[in-house]
Amino acid sequence: MPFPSAATADDDASRLADWLSRHRRIFVLTGAGCSTASGIPGYRGDDGRWTRPPPVTWQGFTGDPAVYRRYWARSHVGWPRFERARPNQAHHALALLGARGPLSLVVTQNVDGLHQRAGSEAVIDLHGRLDAVVCLGCGVRRPRASLQEQLDLLNPGWSPGPAAAAPDGDADIAEEAEHAYVPPHCPDCTGLLKPDVVFFGENVPRARYLAACDALELADAMLVAGSSLMVYSGFRFARMAHERGLPLAVLNRGVTRADALAGLRLEGDLGNTLARAAQLLGAA
Ligand SMILES: [Zn+2]
């Protein structure tokens, strides 16, 4: 597919600005497409299909020591790059549209905290945050950053070999390197340590889900930015919005599960479109 021309980009931005200006309390749902420009790869291609092996499941992580070891070996390598990621113009534009425009709440499927870093104040991290780790034994929560040193100490001289960045602070490394890895456990109770994110096969915590539902109740429109909505926990909000008769706009490169429900559907560059629309609305 050719890149959209400048004229198309301007047209997208003015259509979006027009749509935004017609609403006062917009519920926003964001996904991986919001963070790719920050150097965090997504899991899916433009057709909504997996471009890589599906991520770790809750069942594997808690039930299979090899999966647990594999997760931490890869996280050890992927974390520094993930931690360095900074918000891009999509995050900044959404923050401006929240502070000076019609966006009332951002519900994100991303686990990177970049909306908050960009200054968005009302954010629900639907799938949790990668910058915290929880002990499944005693429940103690620790910053992920403080664990990196423990991982180094547990694995002196360990070398992952050539590594490639993968989604959500993960990295592709050689299988032999995974086998040689010593994963961390809770220093207090020796329990399993899990990043504070919702794994595949696990439910979004009920209170978090209900808080997002409450916000949708108060909204007069819904905007999807950078998500194919292939995961049900995100798609259900688009369906609820549709059932309530709320106008739905979808900004995403490639197909989404809500295309048939969307009154406005834009495929151009997310960051440019949002930034230009914010400008047109005088929020930038
Ligand atoms: Zn513990």
Instruction: Tell me how far apart the alpha carbons of residues 98 and 105 are, in angstroms, rounded to a whole number.
Output: 7
Q: Which pLDDT belongs to residue 1?
A: 43
Q: Which pLDDT belongs to residue 143?
A: 96
Q: Which pLDDT belongs to residue 2?
A: 47
The tokens for 241 are 């919005």
Q: Ligand 1: distance of its center to the CA of 210 in Å?
A: 28
In 3D space, the residue among 85, 81, 84, 89 whose CA is nearest the CA of residue 34 turns out to be 89
284 residues of the chain, pLDDT tens digit each: 445 555 677 899 999 999 999 999 999 999 999 999 999 877 666 665 656 666 789 999 999 999 999 999 999 999 999 999 999 999 999 999 999 999 999 999 999 999 999 999 999 999 999 999 999 999 999 999 999 999 999 999 998 888 888 877 888 888 888 999 999 999 999 999 999 999 888 999 999 999 999 999 999 999 999 999 988 889 999 999 999 999 999 999 999 999 999 999 999 999 999 999 999 999 88
The tokens for 9 are 């980009």
Q: Ligand 1: distance of its center to the CA of 73 in Å?
A: 20
The tokens for 74 are 């890869």
Question: Strand 264-266 to strand 248-251: parallel, antiparallel, or no bridges (unpaired)?
Answer: parallel
CB atoms within 10 A of CB 84: 9
8-state DSSP, 103: E
User: Taking the model in full, what pTM does it have?
Assistant: 0.90
Q: Ligand 1: distance of its center to the CA of 201 in Å?
A: 23
185 belongs to the catalytic site: no
CA dihedral 46, 49, 54, 55 (to 10 degrees): 40
In the set 115, 127, 179, 185, the catalytic residue is: 127
Per-chain residues with Cβ under 5 A from ion ligand 1: 135, 137-138, 186, 188-189, 191
Asked whether 90 and 12 are in contact (CB, 8 A), the reply is: no
Q: Ligand 1: distance of its center to the CA of 248 in Å?
A: 44
In 3D space, the residue among 115, 40, 37 whose CA is nearest the CA of residue 83 turns out to be 40
Q: Which pLDDT belongs to residue 29?
A: 98
Q: Is 95 helix (H, G, I), strand (E, B) or coil?
A: helix
Question: Strand 141-143 to strand 26-30: parallel, antiparallel, or no bridges (unpaired)?
Answer: unpaired
Instruction: Tell me how far apart the alpha carbons of residues 33 and 251 are, in angstroms, rounded to a whole number.
Output: 9
The tokens for 263 are 């009154």
CB atoms within 10 A of CB 252: 25
Q: Ligand 1: distance of its center to the CA of 52 in Å?
A: 32
Q: Ligand 1: distance of its center to the CA of 79 in Å?
A: 22
CB atoms within 10 A of CB 106: 29
